[in-house]
């Protein structure tokens, strides 16, 4: 629960459309470019930080840095992953611009309450899963899940004894699954052996979802809009809602940050290109990458 906030929904100010320039279902690279650079690019599995012609475009982080702000980037994955550029959470404070992936909004909200010159924006780069409710929807089945399967998977991987018994008697009850059949336990252990702990987590999640009456249409990206969370002091929050408190495009978010901080993405992009763009790679090579990515995407069940 958010401290000083009854519900996470209290921070909702709008929704975000996530499509790329040529596909309703975006790739992480395209959505990262939109979120970071204010530029809608296309191509499933395409390159990051360039427009549709393969020419580099500057990010809001670069614009903040060149304007004299101190900048930072905190991620839960490798820095070369597309998503960090997409900045799941942004906030600005006293001459800082910080992008934090997968942060806890409660702590940032507390900080803003005591530092009213700070703004918070949070949105996913795309929706995953395609969540729907089935007949017999029962959210109380989720109450017993007290740990993520990322944590439980680490315990499972480290355990040296009888994996099936450990899974049934120790781990799955902490995940809210209290009465899993022997056949399902055997199947889960085999999934872990054949495909790894990550696949085990997906399978266990599907069992829990089934008990709760939830259904996921895919394990990949979807075209659904995502929620936009925002927070600031009273006057700034009103201005934020006036500017972006509705259904917006993903590339509108850095344009809002640009306006609030008095930055110029256009000037930063010109500076980025001033010595030429040959270092990016040939555009025909980028188009080959994009075409190959589209071919792979067409054959993928996501």
pLDDT of residue 95: 60
Examine residue 2 and state whether it is found in any structural domain, yes or no.
no
Check residues 30 and 278 and name the one with the higher pLDDT.
30
Confidence class for position 154, pLDDT limits 50, 70, 90: very high
pLDDT of residue 2: 40
Helix (H, G, I), strand (E, B) or coil at 229: strand
The answer on 120 and 87 residing in a single domain is yes
Average pLDDT, whole number, for the chain? 83
pLDDT of residue 49: 83
The answer on 273 and 191 residing in a single domain is no
Return d(Cα 272, Cα 279) in angstroms, integer.
11
Going by C-alpha positions, the residue among 302, 300, 278, 301 that lies closest to residue 54 is 278
- On whether the CB atoms of residues 171 and 200 are closer than 8 A, the answer is no
Q: What is the CATH number of the domain that holds 123?
A: 3.40.720.10
Half-sphere exposure of 220 (CA within 13 A, CB side): 12
pLDDT of residue 55: 87
pLDDT of residue 103: 56
pLDDT of residue 71: 84
DSSP string, 80-135: TSHHHHH-SEEEEETTEEEEETT--HHHHHHHHHH-TT-EEEE--SSEES-EEEPT
Most confident of 36-45, 80-89, 199-208, 270-279: 199-208
- On whether the CB atoms of residues 36 and 60 are closer than 8 A, the answer is yes
pLDDT of residue 207: 94
Examine residue 3 and state whether it is found in any structural domain, yes or no.
no
The answer on 181 and 73 residing in a single domain is no
Examine residue 231 and state whether it is found in any structural domain, yes or no.
yes
pLDDT of residue 43: 57
Average pLDDT over residues 248-273: 94
| Domain termination site, one of 151, 181, 216 | 216
| Domain termination site, one of 181, 198, 216 | 216
Return d(Cα 233, Cα 177) in angstroms, integer.
42
pLDDT of residue 108: 78
Average pLDDT over residues 34-52: 78
Confidence class for position 88, pLDDT limits 50, 70, 90: very low
The answer on 97 and 238 residing in a single domain is yes
Average pLDDT over residues 116-140: 88
- Assess whether pLDDT exceeds 90 at residue 54: no
The answer on 36 and 117 residing in a single domain is yes
| Domain termination site, one of 157, 182, 216 | 216
The parent domain of residue 118 ranges over 8-128+221-298
The answer on 262 and 160 residing in a single domain is no
Check residues 188 and 44 and name the one with the higher pLDDT.
188
pLDDT of residue 1: 34
pLDDT of residue 214: 92
Average pLDDT over residues 178-184: 94
- On whether the CB atoms of residues 263 and 64 are closer than 8 A, the answer is yes
Give the least confident one: 129-133, 211-215, 230-234. Answer: 129-133
pLDDT of residue 3: 40
Sign of CA dihedral 214, 219, 225, 231: positive
Pure H helices in 115-233:
149-158, 163-166, 172-174, 182-195, 197-212
Q: Which pair of tokens denotes residue 109?
A: 């909200």
- Assess whether pLDDT exceeds 50 at residue 302: no
Identified catalytic residue from 28, 30, 31, 122: 28
- On whether the CB atoms of residues 99 and 89 are closer than 8 A, the answer is yes
Examine residue 141 and state whether it is found in any structural domain, yes or no.
yes
Q: Is 28 a catalytic residue?
A: yes
Using a pLDDT cut of 70, give the percent of the chain over it. Answer: 79
Q: Exposure of 17 by Cβ count < 10 A (0-12 exposed, 13-18 middle, 19+ buried)? A: middle
List the helix and strand counts (H, then E) for the chain: 13, 11
The annotated binding site for Mg(2+) is made up of 81, 83
The answer on 111 and 236 residing in a single domain is yes
- Assess whether pLDDT exceeds 90 at residue 289: no
Task: Report in angstroms the alpha-carbon separations of 10 from 109, 227, 282.
Answer: 12, 12, 47
Give the least confident one: 32-41, 82-91, 247-256. Answer: 82-91
Non-local CB neighbours of 274 within 8 Å, separated by 6+ positions: none
Examine residue 95 and state whether it is found in any structural domain, yes or no.
yes
The annotated binding site is made up of 81, 83
Examine residue 155 and state whether it is found in any structural domain, yes or no.
yes
Confidence class for position 94, pLDDT limits 50, 70, 90: low
Helix (H, G, I), strand (E, B) or coil at 263: coil
The answer on 226 and 209 residing in a single domain is no
Examine residue 169 and state whether it is found in any structural domain, yes or no.
yes
The domain total for the chain is 2
Angle at 225 between CA 49 and CA 73, to 5 degrees: 40
* Beta strand spans in 139-274 (E): 214-216, 221-222, 226-231, 247-249
* Alpha carbon of residue 104 to chain centroid: 13
The answer on 93 and 12 residing in a single domain is yes
- Assess whether pLDDT exceeds 80 at residue 151: yes
Examine residue 1 and state whether it is found in any structural domain, yes or no.
no
Average pLDDT over residues 105-123: 84
The answer on 124 and 79 residing in a single domain is yes
The answer on 200 and 226 residing in a single domain is no
The answer on 135 and 121 residing in a single domain is no
């Amino acid at each position: 629960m958010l401290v000083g906030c009854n519900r996470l929904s209290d921070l909702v100010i709008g929704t975000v459309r996530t499509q790329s320039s040529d596909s309703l279902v975006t790739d992480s690279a395209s959505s990262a470019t939109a979120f970071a650079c204010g530029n809608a690019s296309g191509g499933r599995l395409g390159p990051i930080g360039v427009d549709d012609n393969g020419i580099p475009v500057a990010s809001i982080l670069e614009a903040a840095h060149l304007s004299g702000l101190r900048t930072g980037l905190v991620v839960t994955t490798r820095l070369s992953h597309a998503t960090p550029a997409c900045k799941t959470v942004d906030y600005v404070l006293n001459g800082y611009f910080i992008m934090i992936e997968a942060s806890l909004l409660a702590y940032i909200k507390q900080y803003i309450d005591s530092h009213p010159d700070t703004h918070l924006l949070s949105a996913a780069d795309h929706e995953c899963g395609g969540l729907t409710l089935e007949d017999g929807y029962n959210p109380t089945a989720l109450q017993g899940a007290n740990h993520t399967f990322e944590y439980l998977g680490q315990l499972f991987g480290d355990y040296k004894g009888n994996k099936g018994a450990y899974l049934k008697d120790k781990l799955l009850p902490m995940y809210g699954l209290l009465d899993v059949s022997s056949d399902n336990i055997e199947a889960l252990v085999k999934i872990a052996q054949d495909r790894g702990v990550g696949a085990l987590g997906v399978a266990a999640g599907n069992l829990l979802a089934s008990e709760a009456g939830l259904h996921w249409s895919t394990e990949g990206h979807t075209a659904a809009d995502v929620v936009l969370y925002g927070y600031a002091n009273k006057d700034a929050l009103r201005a934020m809602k006036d500017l972006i408190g509705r259904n917006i495009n993903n590339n509108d978010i850095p344009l809002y940050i640009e306006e609030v901080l008095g930055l110029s993405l256009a000037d930063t992009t010109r500076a980025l290109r001033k010595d030429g763009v040959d270092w990016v790679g040939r555009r025909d090579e980028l188009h080959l990458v994009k075409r190959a990515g589209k071919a792979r995407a067409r054959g993928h069940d996501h």
